[in-house]
Structure 1
Amino acid sequence: MDRKLAAILAADVVGYSALMEQDEQGTFERLKAGRKELFEPEISSHHGYIFKLMGDGLLAEFSSVVDAVECAMALQKGLVERNAAVPEGQRFQMRIGINLGEVIVEGDDRYGEGVNIAARLEQIAEPGGVYVSGKVAKEVEKKLAFAFEAIGEQRVKNIAEPVPVYRVNLNGQPRRHLLKARRLRNKWLMPEGLAVVVAVTAAAVLGTQHWWKPSGAAFDEASIAVLPFDNLGDDPKWERIADGISEDIITELSQADHVLVIARHSTDAYRATSADVRQVGADLGVRFVLEGSLQAIGDRVRIRAQLVDAVTGADLWSERYDRPDEDIFEVQSDVTAKIANTLGSQVGVIRKSQFKLAQHKPPNSLTAYDTYLMADAVALTPVGGVTKDGLIEGERLFRKAIELDPQMARAYVGLAYVYSLMYGYGFADSPQQALLKQLEAARKAVELDPNNNEAHGALGQALNWNGEWAQALVEFDRAEALAPNDADTLALIATNIAASQSARAVRLSERAILLNPHYPNWYNYGLYWGYFFQEQFDKSLNYAKLVTGPSINEKSFLAMLYGYLNQPEEAKKAAAMVLKDDPDWTAEKFLTKWFVGGEHETELVAEGARKAGLRACATRAELKENPNMIHVKSCDKERQKAGSG
């Protein structure tokens, strides 16, 4: 029995049976012509071989996984072109799946898990789509200009382990466009020892112009070089750990959409040197330099990190971590993730520093990224709290950033959050319109950058708030898969899933706080919601109290929590604040606006409202006014008794 490694492409026609039922002869002839004129020539030109035809489908083998993916995209593009000349009811759409794996060779046929996974990927792909396994994406993402959008791990029929799945997007930006920019820079920086020599020479010739920028390009993102961490001892073991920390920080920071990170081989030139950080910044064309050290002291290890402004030489941030060395690799993972989140998060050191720089620029010189930072600061992370005026100004600035750079996905993410806050705080003139704008902006963000975890998080929230809960979960899973150590992303997911997946919400929130100890206030939402629906009311109350300037949402929870904890005076005070903000508040109204959960969770809110002295049963008029209002089962008898339902 012969075996070999091969890329397998599986394809079939969407809705073929329905097409055959409408026009059997015509459909068969069109399929036959499509195979002869498109599929066979394209597969052959990409060095592939069709080893099985199955009615409306086929299986093909390629020795090169790059050829297989390029062929799949050529086939989908070719179908679109052919369909343009065909009446809509007669058009073919194909699903394609590609896997890289070992296959069993038996004559002209191929068998085994390598083939089976390709077939399963084809079955779950959307019409016109190409889904590939994680092995394929890993092999080709640096070799092709297509974007690879993480779908997450999927369980497929007859395959024991979940399969990491990626969608190929011909029109999207390549995976992590910032990483692509970094790879471009690496290409120009040349191999190892020549990098710094060429950089210094070019800088001398070109002055302050960043010599590595392509003509017309403008890298607004914060740029940073992570220097090799120094081992302050003699044990070579710690040298390897210090190198691992530097490399892990580079990897983690690369997940931050607004941070451009110099590759390690370029910063290695500064190993064991005492180069001035300002010179490093000039050599590598970066604004920030991170340096650090590791020192073993007895059975403990001390790790120090320091962020420096490479232009002024000023220290922007520093931290020291003292940990037992029992499991040094766990310490390495924990410390590097914390450093990356402290620097690169939504309210991190780098973004704050960039905002200060933007503030001091003349208005007519602001770039798209500067404008984005100003919008973020005034609308999403204001010092004095969210306001209606701030959100209106933020919307204007985000749209201005989009005018300056129509491809700026992060600006659409910002817009989505502006509309969500307009809705959440009751500032929107038309709540429904705000939700639709939120969804539109989030979808545009994902379209522009399908591998941006923040975009998928924003789309998940928008889908959730627009009532598309199942699809929202898919987006949240994608966001987490793309950035499993991004504290902001984890906290956002937790906030949105707390009612239906409370245990996961608490886990994600606690990890977010672990990764970002100086976390923004809104991280508490996922915790107090999650603990509430786990009926751990004392823990929920502790985190609810941490929310500053609570909106009616938090006030409602406070009232319910005090009710459950048998603190009637506090419950009464909190309920009074709720009714002051909204005299018509009812549990149904609250649930309809905010809630996704089951019958148990719905009743939990209703009972909490009653314990706080708030209404839990909507009137006939209220139900008539809003027919989509969430049903509270325990209100049925009361409504019946009162003649209200």
Structure 2
Amino acid sequence: MDRKLAAILAADVVGYSALMEQDEQGTFERVKAGRKGLFEPEIARHHGHIFKLMGDGLLAEFSSVMDAVECAVALQGGLAERNAAVPEDQRFQVRIGVNLGEVIVEGDDRFGEGVNIAARLEQIAEPGGIYVSGKVAKEVEKKLAFAFEAMGEQRVKNIAEPVPVYRVNLHGQPRRRLLKARRLRDRWLILARLAAVVAVALGAVLGIQGWWKSSGVAVDYASIAVLPFDNLGKDPKWDRIADGITEDIITDLSQSDHVLVIARHSTDVYKGKAVDVRQVGADLGVRYVLTGGLQANGDRVRITAQLVDAATGADLWSERYDRSGEDIFAVQSDVTAKIANTLGSQVGVIRKSQLKLAQHKPPNSLTAYDTLLMADQMAFTPVGGITKDGLIEAEKLFHKAIDLDPQMARAYVGLAYVYSYMFGYGFAVSPEQALSKQLEAARKAVELDPNSNKAHGALGQALAWNGEGAQALVEFDKAESLAPNDADTLALIAMNINQEDTARAVRLSERAILLNPYYPNWYNISLYWSYFFSEQFDKSLKYVTLYQNPSLNEISFTAMLYGYLNQPNEAKKVAEEVLKQDPGWTAEKFVTKWSIAPGHNSELVAEGARKAGLRACATAAELKGNPNMIHMKSCDAERAKAASG
């Protein structure tokens, strides 16, 4: 008796007996046609096979759990399309269950708990729905385009232990918007219309407006197909590595919430073929195509990658990575993450290309995504540096993007950072109001897209800056778990935890620049803060001086760092600039602004100020004038001496 691990899909027709009673021959023919015209082809296309047919359902086996879930989604989408094209009395619905477990193999049949749980999940699923086990959700939730809604542990017939059950949320905003081929996209549009009609008819609030409406957004966003990387050598063992690189790049790129990535099974058809990328773009409905290959030579391996504009055939970016092949899996992880971050980060190649396209459009034809791109550029990567006017204009543009698409979570993320910059750079008329708006925008972003690492990162920062440190760490952990290879997310977390957990902050900062060597200016903040509080002053100075268009914050740190590194002349020169910008600067004032808690870290700032020739301690009058100012014990004696003198 053979056993193996398999993904099992169970599907049956809802109310089959009643349908047969009403119209036996018609129901039989319609169900048979649906099986032949939709279910069998889709299951085969997703590399599965049907091992059991019943009058009202079927059981299918897949070697890949990702294929099983994607197939289930495609089946429900395809059935909705077919239903939309026939009279209501000729429609039927199915429910689907998917489980991952061990099965007993007996000829062409499959038995065991792996099959039984899939069948039980199908029985408790709602019409038109897909229920999966906890094992399935755990395996695929970070790799597929659909949110998984926890339904709790369910007791099902003939299964001793409760089964953790998750519903595939076809109507929520996806965590990663993986594009399919154009025909699949059309299918979803039809499903959207049907779902909207059902929602209105039932008076239900399904929360589908944003994503289904954004089938428009999906086309609007940057879309990319990653073609299978070629093994350019003769050794077949490198085929597996080439496939792994392709898979990893797709997964890592999918973490970027403004890049839509074609699922791998839609690009596998091009493996080993000479293709015209413009035709690939037309076939799959994408703007960009990434190609690449690897070639081993002795103990070295060369990996190449090239990004092409599918509309024009123009090369946008190419890179070559030469590495030792001794630990190829480490090389694979390193190179794929770098490629993904170079292409998909905040200042990545794709983002810049999309911004150029938007800037050449007439103002009245700008989409929500175009507007978002220009707001991002205006706020966070302006040519002349961050300014108050630029942030105000960016705020207007983010609001315009929201007007065009009220469900665009990324625009609320942008707003949250605009308010944080207004506060951080001292541009806000009311700092308290800026922090309040930051928190409000970040909460809205998470509400709209609870599976976005960017939204959770923005909320983490907003909570931290609003004094809710413990909850902030929860959000940061969620953001990192959703996107462990997203350099922007890692740098953001590091920037906000460098006082509480300096070791983690340093580790995340260093990994961020490893993943994204062409990192944006703001990464330097996380680097110099993290190194400062870990007392690696030479490294901190390196990154604070790399920061472009420094504000008073960077200048203050620079003065303190020169003090710590025993460079008094440089420290004095920079300290003079600090006092020129803020004659009343003190370390206590500085730690208050940045909520640096009294203790080791605040004393580190105070000692740096003294070494730079700056005032560490506020006067008694200054403290009285600002009762919220954080004061340091090391300043008590100084104030007492001043009072007695």
User: Fold-level match, TM-score > 0.5?
Assistant: yes
CA RMSD after TM alignment: 3.2
Query: What SS does structure 2 have at the residue aligned with 1:521?
Result: coil
Distance apart, 1:379 and its partner CA: 1.1
Name 1:328's counterpart in structure 2. Answer: 328
Instruction: Provide the secondary structure at the position in 1 that maps to 2:618.
Output: coil
Given the alignment of the two structures, is residue 485 of structure 1 paired with residue 513 of structure 2, yes or no? no
Q: Which residue of 1 aligns with 2:177?
A: 178
> In the alignment, is the contact (CA less than 8 A) between 2:459 and 2:472 conserved in 1?
yes
d(CA) in 1 for partners of 2:267 and 2:276?
13
Name the structure 2 match of 1:280.
280
Please give the per-residue CA displacement for 1:482-535, whole angstroms capped at 9, x wherever unaligned.
111000111111111112211111111110011011111221222221221122
Q: Is the 8 A contact 2:368 2:400 kept in 1?
A: yes
Q: Distance in 2 between matches of 1:587 and 1:365?
A: 50
Where do residues 143-542 of structure 1 align in structure 2 (5 Å cutoff)? 173-179=172-178, 182=180, 219-542=219-542
What SS does the aligned partner of 1:641 have?
A: helix
CA distance in 2, matches of 1:619, 1:170: 59
The Cα of 1:572 is off from its aligned counterpart by: 0.9
Q: Which residue identity is paired with 2:592?
A: T
Once the 2 structures are TM-superposed, how far is the Cα of residue 166 of structure 1 from its aligned partner? 12
Letter aligned with residue 323 of structure 2: R
CA contact (8 A) 1:277 1:289 kept: yes
CA–CA separation in structure 2 for the residues paired with 1:315 and 1:308: 5
Q: Which amino acid aligns with 2:289?
A: V
Q: Tell me by how many angstroms 1:644 deviates.
A: 9.3
Q: Secondary structure at the match of 2:386?
A: coil
- Residue 171 and residue 560 in structure 1: after superposition, are their counterparts in 2 closer, same or farther (change >3 A)? farther
Distance 1:484 1:644 in 2: 56
Cα drift, residue 546 of structure 1: 1.1
Quote how far apart the aligned CAs of 1:597 are: 4.2
- 5+ residue gaps, structure 2: 1-68, 70-99, 103-131, 151-163, 189-211
Amino acid paired to 1:456: H
Offset at residue 184 of structure 1 (A): 9.7
Structure 1 residues 546, 140: CA separation in 2 closer, same or farther (over 3 Å shift)? closer
Residues 395 and 415, structure 1, Cα contact 8 Å, conserved in 2 = yes
Task: Output one character per residue of 1:155-179: Cα deviation in whole Å (capped at 9) or x when no partner.
Answer: xxxxxxxxxx999999993541514
Check the 8 A contact 1:186/1:266 in 2, yes or no: no
Could you tell me how far apart the structure 2 residues matched to 1:375 and 1:391 are? 9
Q: Judging changes above 3 Å, is the alpha-carbon distance between structure 1 residues 220 and 565 closer, same or farther for their aligned structure 2 residues?
A: same
Question: How many correspondences in the alignment?
Answer: 482
Alignment deviations for residues 573-632 of structure 1 (CA, whole Å, 9 cap, x no partner): 111111111111111111011143451111111111111111111223322232221121
Tell me the TM-score normalized by structure 1: 0.70
- C-alpha displacement at 1:471, in angstroms? 1.1
| Aligned residue type for 1:522 | W
Q: Residue 219 of structure 2 aligns to a residue in which SS?
A: coil
Unaligned runs of 5+ in 1: 1-65, 67-99, 103-131, 150-164, 191-211
Q: Cα distance 1:260–1:409, how it changes in 2: closer, same or farther (>3 A)?
A: same
Which amino acid is the alignment partner of residue 344 of structure 1? G
Q: Quote the offset at 1:214 in angstroms.
A: 9.2
Deviates most, 305-314 or 624-633: 624-633
SS of 2:294's equivalent?
strand
- Given that 2:176 and 2:255 are in contact with CA atoms closer than 8 Å, whether structure 1 keeps it comes out as no
Measure the CA separation in 2 of the matches of 1:376 and 1:228. Answer: 32
Query: 1:57 corresponds to which residue?
Result: none
State the one-letter code of the partner of 1:505.
A
**CA–CA distance in structure 1, aligned partners of residues 479 and 263 of structure 2:** 24
- State the shift of 1:272 in Å: 1.7
Matched residue of 2:275: which SS? coil
Q: Aligned residue for 2:611?
A: 611
Change (3 A) 1:185 1:451: farther
Whether the 8 Å contact between 2:491 and 2:523 is mirrored in structure 1 is yes
Is the Cα–Cα contact under 8 Å of residues 304 and 321 in structure 1 kept in the other structure? Answer: yes
Amino acid at match of 2:514: L
Task: Give the secondary structure class of the aligned counterpart of 1:566.
Answer: coil
Q: 1:185 to 1:637 in 2, by over 3 A?
A: farther
Judged with a 3 Å threshold, the aligned counterparts in structure 2 of structure 1 residues 184 and 168 are, in CA distance, closer, same or farther, namely: farther
CA distance in 1, matches of 2:402, 2:218: 15
Q: Amino acid of the residue matched to residue 334 of structure 1?
A: D
Q: 1:101 to 1:290 in 2, by over 3 A?
A: closer
* TM-score under structure 2 length normalisation: 0.70
1:555/1:171 CA distance change after superposition, 3 Å: farther
